[in-house]
Structure 1
Amino acid sequence: MGDYGDGTQYQHSFPNAAVVIKKGKDAGDKFLPADELFNKYNIKLISWEPSPPIKNTFK
């Protein structure tokens, strides 16, 4: 998880973000600074720590 398939891994730069774009066997990434994330998309990253998955119960 987190690799590009060629042995390299994504290095995060919180609170900035990166988008991984995959086209067939090729992959690339795009850097998004925190201010652009907020001004353009109204997204503010507040934590990089993962949380436990949500468990749904269907009856």
Structure 2
Amino acid sequence: MTKYHIIGYCSFILALLLLLFNFFDSTIGKILFGLSVGAGIKFVTDGVLFKSGLLKKKNKK
């Protein structure tokens, strides 16, 4: 499991907690929910692509 998977799963857990504790009723709760779901999808897919070798890490110069 890579760091991308861990970050993705943590953001999904954050989204679930926001949903369970009714933060979804406020505007900021909706924004945080959307951002955490989007971040979860992004980091989990990045982790899968890095692990499969389809996506390469950029070299820093």
Using the size of structure 1 for normalisation, the TM-score is 0.27
Using the size of structure 2 for normalisation, the TM-score is 0.26
Tell which has more relative contact order, 1 or 2 (C-alpha 8 A, sep 6+): 2
Greater share of helix: 2
Greater share of strand: 1
